[in-house]
Structure 1
Amino acid sequence: MTSASATSPVRDTILATGQRIMGAKGFSAVGLNEVLAAAGVPKGSFYHYFASKEAFGEALLEDYFTAYLADMDRIFRQPGQTKAEQLEAYFAAWQDSQSFEDCQGKCLAVKLGAEVADLSEPMRAALQRGTTGITDRLARALEAGVADGSVTLQDPPDAVARRLYQLWLGTSIMVKIARTTRPFDDAVALTSRLLHTAP
């Protein structure tokens, strides 16, 4: 990769197009030619920014989690809300983004997680870093919720954060399997019980 790759509009276009297509079809099922044709970018330009499809996949996940974590930070900084209200907004946004019909690349961790974890160590590590960032932010929000009195926990915030993320990740998969958003109703109810907040 060249040093210019971090700020290149061409690189950003390739990543955005790959996220949309691979978010719908998966990583292995999509060839580079499909991504590049949709992006309107010649193959030579791809190898200027990415050494291989695996390197592209790693960058794709890093880019996805950077945007995802920025969205989390924005939600948890909303003024005039308790942490319980911000957590509710976060999980409402999760539901909105995890459509079983067309997630438009917004459900990349759900779509690619199981597939690439066994396929590529660099991609698995990118997933690990990204999901750790998510659970760390959830834990901080839970801790702040306990401090402001809007959340009550029976277990340490980091443990509850991991359980919540695992609950919602698994629920997102069930939503895709069942082709209905009803599993989210159970996740919302269980989340409320875990946090001792009103549903």
Structure 2
Amino acid sequence: MPKPSLRDALLDAGFEALHAGGYSATGVAAIASAARAPKGSFYNHFHSKEALAVEVLARYGQRRRLDLLTAPGVPPLQRIRNHLDHLGEDLAAYGYRRGCMFGNFAAEAPAAAPAVTAAVTAALGRWRALLAETIREGQRAGDITADVDADAAAQLIVDAWEGAALRAKAVGDSAPVDNVTALVFDRILSVR
């Protein structure tokens, strides 16, 4: 089996460190140390912490399972439920202490790292757009209320979820995300 590259080791270490500690509190030295690499070798693979963070955010985005929102053969409302359940399970896997990396970085909005802020904004925008389209599909199928604007509902769900993930991180349990999930299905999307 081939030995993992140092670049991959730095990405893995950066993913863990940035998810656990956030952008501002995580330094290149800590990432290099966790990857068992000299600090100087970091710059052979990434021109900055910001460049590494953008790649880490892309990797994190793959774990968010946006594909659940477009799963063929699954009713739209169930796709939304499956997706939010997945996100909740991801938060639970870390004891609710890490939160959502997108939300964490958005809350920091590092002024010295505009590419990080742009990557977070784009990722949240993709999520909102896919969610809105899934809501529209559910509305056409009659499973989701037609009384709600799909784009506004999707934005509200994204914003509420990110806020709940931050609260779950603060309190260390699922209550905030459970409340948002109940609100989404019992009030925002329910057929009245």
Structure 2: where are the runs of 5+ without partners?
none
Counting matched residue pairs gives: 188
**Corresponding position of 1:33:** 29
Q: CA deviation at 1:128?
A: 0.8
1:49 aligns with 2:39: no
Question: Structure 1 residues 117 and 162, CA, compared in 2 at 3 Å: closer, same or farther?
Answer: farther
Q: CA deviation at 1:197?
A: 5.4
Structure 1: where are the runs of 5+ without partners?
1-7
1:16-65, CA deviations, whole angstroms, 9 ceiling, x for partnerless residues?
Answer: 22111121112222221221121223334321221112222223223322
1:142-197, CA deviations, whole angstroms, 9 ceiling, x for partnerless residues?
Answer: 11111222212423211111111001111111112222211222212210111015
Question: Structure 1 residues 55 and 80, CA, compared in 2 at 3 Å: closer, same or farther?
Answer: closer
Alignment of 1:175-186 (within 5 A): 175-186=168-179
Q: Which of 164, 167, 174 is the matching residue for 2:160?
A: 167
Q: CA deviation at 1:106?
A: 7.4
Please tell me the residue identity of whatever aligns with 2:24: S
Name the stretch that deviates more: 110-119 or 172-181. Answer: 110-119
Alignment of 1:97-112 (within 5 A): 97-99=90-92, 101-102=94-95, 107-112=100-105
Please tell me the residue identity of whatever aligns with 1:156: D
Q: Which of 141, 146, 158 is the matching residue for 2:151?
A: 158
Q: Is the 8 A contact 1:84 1:197 kept in 2?
A: no
Q: CA deviation at 1:15?
A: 1.7
TM-score w.r.t. length of structure 2: 0.85
Please tell me the residue identity of whatever aligns with 1:34: A
1:126 aligns with 2:119: yes
Name the stretch that deviates more: 134-143 or 94-103. Answer: 94-103
**Corresponding position of 2:56:** 60
Q: CA deviation at 1:88?
A: 0.6
**Corresponding position of 2:66:** 72
